[in-house]
């Protein structure tokens, strides 16, 4: 595994030369509340539009009523520099057609110690093909939404394409239904096979996280036990939702 070394001189040159803007509905300093970088200080950049309409989305109202504003990349870089932040790109959906180019602007023109791109996978394969991301400090956090038989097939096929990419992590909103359980069983079996296959030489235990559902503290408490049981059964990692439990977003 190669580690990214933060380059202060490059950091200053990039910030000085940036003249581009992106459209966001939110931008503020916070902490990552979910997944492999939980607790890490981040600059949260939130897009407005999404290709899905999930009933459990905790930002649906916010996306509907919030107005987009222009943010210069230079101002974003300044915040990252001054507060030593990672970059969190979320939504909405960062690969939505109205946000795809802005997501690329953020990833290619800002300098950061780590970046998280939270995505439902809509155009993630296209995004991964834009350049070689492997040596950059970027985690593409793919969150499959599995609610029925059709979405089970779709997400399973997409997961097959993504699982071997070094920068892709999987964060599953856990529903205790037959489709989510079938996906988890399939993914667990697939990982075990990959780890025992001679052509692969690394562990995948850091790759997959299960997350409780709900937009309130009570919802989180109610569903966390089921999630922990599933993590133990399938050998996945547990992701709480700290921003909900501790009100820092």
β-bridge pairing 86-90 and 168-173 = unpaired
Q: What are phi and psi of 3, to 5 degrees?
A: -105, 140
What is residue 33's predicted lDDT score, i.e. its pLDDT? 92
The residue among 133, 229, 109, 120 whose CA lies nearest residue 176 is 229
What is residue 199's predicted lDDT score, i.e. its pLDDT? 57
The residue among 70, 75, 77, 133 whose CA lies nearest residue 109 is 77
The residue among 216, 214, 212 whose CA lies nearest residue 231 is 212
What is residue 195's predicted lDDT score, i.e. its pLDDT? 84
Q: Between helices 217-234 and 178-196, what is the axis angle to 10°?
A: 40
Gyration radius from the chain CA atoms: 18
CA atoms within 13 A on the CB side of 46: 20
Contacts of 94 (CB under 8 A, 6+ apart): 47, 100, 103, 117, 118, 119
What is the full per-residue pLDDT of the chain (249 aa) written as tens digits? Answer: 344 444 555 544 454 555 599 999 999 999 999 999 999 999 999 999 999 888 777 777 677 778 999 999 999 999 999 999 999 999 999 999 999 999 999 999 999 999 999 999 999 999 999 999 999 999 999 999 998 999 999 999 999 999 999 999 999 999 889 999 999 999 999 999 888 875 555 678 889 999 998 777 887 788 889 999 999 999 999 998 877 777 776
Rounded-to-integer distance, Cα 127 and Cα 123, Å: 6
What is residue 240's predicted lDDT score, i.e. its pLDDT? 85
């Amino acid at each position: 595994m190669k580690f990214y070394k933060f380059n202060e001189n490059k950091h200053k040159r990039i910030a000085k030369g940036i003249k581009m803007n992106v459209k966001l509905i939110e931008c503020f300093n916070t902490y990552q509340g979910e997944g492999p970088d939980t607790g890490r200080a981040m600059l949260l950049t939130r897009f407005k539009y999404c290709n899905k309409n999930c009933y459990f989305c905790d930002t649906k109202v916010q996306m509907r009523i919030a107005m987009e504003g222009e943010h210069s990349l230079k101002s974003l870089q300044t915040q990252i520099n001054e507060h030593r932040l990672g970059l969190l790109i979320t939504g909405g959906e960062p690969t939505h057609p109205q946000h795809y180019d802005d997501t690329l602007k953020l990833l290619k023109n800002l300098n950061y110690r780590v970046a998280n791109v939270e995505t439902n996978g809509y155009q993630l394969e296209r995004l991964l093909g834009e350049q070689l991301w492997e040596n950059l400090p970027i985690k593409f956090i793919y969150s499959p939404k599995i609610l029925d038989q059709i979405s089970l097939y779709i997400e399973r096929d997409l997961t097959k394409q993504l699982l071997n990419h070094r920068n892709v992590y999987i964060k599953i909103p856990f529903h205790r239904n037959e489709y989510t359980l079938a996906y988890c069983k399939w993914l667990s079996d697939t990982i075990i096979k990959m780890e025992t296959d001679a052509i692969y030489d690394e562990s995948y235990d850091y790759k997959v996280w299960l997350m409780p559902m709900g937009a309130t503290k009570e919802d989180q408490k109610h569903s966390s036990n089921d999630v922990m049981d599933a993590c133990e059964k399938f050998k996945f990692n547990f992701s709480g939702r700290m921003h909900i439990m501790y009100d820092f977003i």
